[in-house]
Amino acid sequence: MKSIYPPEDFVEKANVKDPAIYSKAKENWIDYWESFAKELHWFEPWEKFFDDSKAPYYRFFVNGKINASYNCVDRHLKEKRNKAAIIWEGEKGENRVLTYFDLYREVGKLSNALRNLGVKKGDKVGIYMPNLPEAVISMLAAARIGATHVFIFAGFSPKSAAFRMKDSGVKLLITADGYYRRGNLINLKEKADEALEEYKGVENVVVVRRAGNEIDMKEGRDHDYAELVRKEKAKSECEITDANDPLFIIYTSGSVAEPKGIIHSTGGYLVHVYATSKIVLDLKDEDVLFCTADLGWITGHSYSVYGPLSLGATVLLYEGAPDYPDICRTFELIEKYGVTVFYTVPTLVRMLQGCGNIDSFDLSTLRLIGSVGEPLEAENWLWLYEEVGKKKCPVVDTWWQTETGGIVIAPIPALTPMKPGSVSKPLPGIEVDIYDSGGKKAKPYQLGHLVIKKMFPGFMLGIHGDPKAYVQLYWSKFGKRVYLTGDYAYYDEDGYIWISGRADDVINISGHRVSLVEIEKVVKELREVADCAAIGVPDRIKGTAIALFVVAEKSDDLAEKIKKKIEEDIGRIALPRLIVFVKELPKTAGKVFKRAIADAVIKKEISGIASNVEVVKKIAEKIDKNASGVFFID
């Protein structure tokens, strides 16, 4: 693939344009990261940059004292007091603008209210919210008083929300009455109440009135957000937190049935997202960043809140679906607010190509486009570069994970020649590699395990409540100093990295990680289901969709029952596109041989040795990789 070089005028104005940044970071790794840390505000400097004495539990900025809320709000007041921090638009077209001074006042009021409700340093604050300014305010208010926030994606079912609150030990929950999604009013308070029937540990619930829908308010427990903060003062002292105090816990799907709570630090995480917002997204004072991720996902945390706000940038936050009332809504938002930096997912990129005449929208303010969440195919990369960016916007395809906190592999837009389809090379200060199954470095074009060989400040502190899983999942295959990402990848002859997909039982759907094991566990709870296997299949819009193979009696009613249970227990994001009822599943060594099913559907190949090759052959004959709906195989 031919390399594409960034435009000269972009290079001239870029934050980073000295190619020596790579060699300097390699020669003096500590100075490299400390230079970014020193641009933030610390109440007390760190005593030691890196401590690996308890590997694989790595710690950065040891004994440094910092507050994330202060760095995202207070430190900008002198020069950016009246600058827009958050521009918000609701799905119905309403909009609000909060300046940095507005944000300071609102965060201060809520943090005082939380203190008065008994929230202390180290307590867990749940946030079950859509993309609202109050969601960002809640994150920063929790951080201000040293509490750890646990953000729960609003699309999750009550059962999923309850699991996350119970697992993390949430003491107080902040939610909303409702919100709008594709024209529908979603009663979020009702979902929250249902979750709290299952988890009894929440003492207080704060409710933001967004939609004005009728809701139940439990006396003594539930508090109206507006009434609560109205009586509070704006000035609120920041808790001085240690660099390695948890800032938040965020749940991600893994190769185990239950989601795992990833813990991120305050200091190291903030330094990482600050640095990568500056280096990769090239954020400047005049920029308007539109990151399309929901705040409930790590991308929303890192690049709609902590990264851009620590830089003092302006963030566009959108409540609704990006394709409502039509797929052109995204372009309307870019034009309306003069978006300069657009960070999105391949799913939306594919959807946007359905918008008729792109040239009818003024997208001339765009100067950089980014992608995250799954591999961005070369043809979609080129469409972004040529049709949306008009060849004047670098397209930075980024690779990172919930566990890494921020971007790990990506082009530096003014320095790195771009190859459509490749995430380029590791950022300065980060060392990755590709290993074969024996732990040897893979050869060019040899598919292998993507690993991280040198830690960096944004890396997770661990898994909440499960230290054994932390070691077993990430550090058992190649030792306690080589992190297993769970992705397959390969190098080309220039050292560029190409991501192939997940090596474990996790798939990416529209940029969201979904555990196939969790889906199987939920479905097997139905008494009618004897066994099941979930696989990922290609999807033109979502990138990957779920195909579910179920051992049960033929039944259209059961198919609907399965979908309902998945939606209730996990959420709509995990709904299968395809359900296939079979008499039995192919097995090897007593376990369901899922690769054989996947190869039969996707490649039409009979691979490996399974207990029942005949069922694999029937799947290959009758099920197409693009199929949807319900099928029965005798």
Same domain, yes or no, for 347 and 242? yes
Residue 50 β-bridge partners: 60
Percent of the chain with pLDDT over 90: 83
What confidence category does residue 611 fall into, taking pLDDT thresholds of 50, 70 and 90? low
Q: Considering only 289-293, 481-485, 600-604, which range has the smallest mean pLDDT? A: 600-604
Domains of the chain: total: 2
- Indicate the residue among 454, 472, 490 that finishes a domain: 472
1 within domain boundaries = no
Half-sphere exposure of 311 (CA within 13 A, CB side): 28
Look at residue 117 and tell me whether its pLDDT is greater than 90: yes
Q: Extract long-range pairs of 48-53: CB within 8 Å, 24+ residues apart.
A: 50/455, 52/455, 52/481
Residues 513 and 558 in one domain: yes
Same domain, 130 and 50: yes
Q: For residues 223 and 82, what is the distance between their CA atoms, to the nearest angstrom?
A: 30
Give a yes or no: residue 486 inside a domain: no
Residue 594 pLDDT: 85
Q: Tell whether 215 and 364 lie within a shared domain.
A: yes
- Kindly state whether residues 533 and 393 are assigned to the same domain: no
Kindly state the greatest CA–CA separation across the chain.
72
Segment 511-523, tens digit of pLDDT: 787 888 889 989 9
Same domain, 452 and 586: no
% of the chain at pLDDT higher than 70: 97
Q: Which residues of 26-59 are buried (b: 16+ CB within 10 A; e: fewer)?
A: eeebeebbbebbeebebeeebeebbbeeeebbbb
Euclidean distance between the first and final Cα of the chain, in Å? 46
Domain assignment present for residue 594? The answer is yes
Structure tokens at 175: 């939610």
Q: What is the pLDDT of residues 253-286, one digit of tens each?
A: 655 557 899 999 999 999 999 999 999 999 999 9
Q: What does the pLDDT look like over 296-342, one tens digit per residue? A: 999 999 999 999 999 999 999 999 988 899 989 999 999 999 999 99
- Which pLDDT band holds residue 484 (cuts at 50, 70, 90)? very high
Q: Is the dihedral of CA 276, 281, 286, 292 positive or negative?
A: negative
* CB proximity list for 177: less than 8 A, separation 6 or greater: 187, 188, 189, 207, 208, 209, 210, 211, 212, 213, 215
Are residue 467 and residue 575 in the same domain, yes or no?
no
Backbone angles phi, psi at 561, to 5 degrees: -65, -40
Q: Whole domain around residue 593: which residue ranges?
A: 506-632
Which of 114-128, 405-419, 431-445, 540-554 shows the lowest mean pLDDT across its residues? 540-554
Give me the mean pLDDT over the 527-548 stretch.
91
3-state secondary structure 87-107: EEECCCCCEEEEEHHHHHHHH
In a domain, 496, yes or no: no
Last residue of a domain, one of 419, 452, 472: 472
Q: Tokens standing for 608?
A: 């490996």
Q: Give mean pLDDT, residues 356-377.
A: 93
Q: Retrieve residue 119's tokens.
A: 């929230």
Helices (H), 216-345: 225-230, 267-279, 298-300, 307-311, 329-337
So what's the pLDDT on residue 104? Answer: 98
Q: What is the CATH number of the domain that holds 220?
A: 3.40.50.12780
Q: What pLDDT, in 10s, does the model give residues 78-89? A: 999 999 999 999
Query: In angstroms, rounded to a whole number, what is the distance separating the alpha carbons of residues 90 and 75?
Result: 29
Whether 516 and 450 map to the same domain: the answer is: no
Is residue 3, in this structure, part of any structural domain at all?
no
- Do both 393 and 443 map to the same domain? yes
Q: Give the mean model confidence (pLDDT) for residues 543-568.
A: 91
Task: Tell whether 537 and 619 lie within a shared domain.
Answer: yes
pLDDT score recorded for residue 321: 87
Q: pLDDT at residue 588 above 70?
A: no
Q: What is the rounded CA–CA span in Å between residue 299 and residue 376? A: 16
In a domain, 219, yes or no: yes
Helix, strand, or coil (residue 35): helix
Query: What strand order describes the sheet that includes 395-397?
Result: 95-99, 84-89, 314-318, 288-291, 341-344, 368-371, 395-397
Whether 451 is in a domain gets the answer: yes
347, 294 Cβ separation under 8 angstroms:
no
CA distance 234 to 103: 10
CATH of the domain at 583: 3.30.300.30
pLDDT at 610 over 60: no
pLDDT score recorded for residue 84: 98
Decide: helix, strand or coil at residue 370: strand
pLDDT for residue 506: 79
Residue 498 belongs to a domain: no
Task: Encode pLDDT of 442-456 as tens digits.
Answer: 999 998 999 999 999
Residues 515 and 462 in one domain: no
The tens digit of pLDDT for each residue in 487-536 reads: 999 999 999 999 987 777 778 888 787 888 889 989 988 989 988 999 99
Separation of CA 154 from chain center = 14
> Among positive and negative, which fits the CA dihedral 381, 384, 390, 392?
negative
Q: Do 324 and 388 lie in a common domain?
A: yes
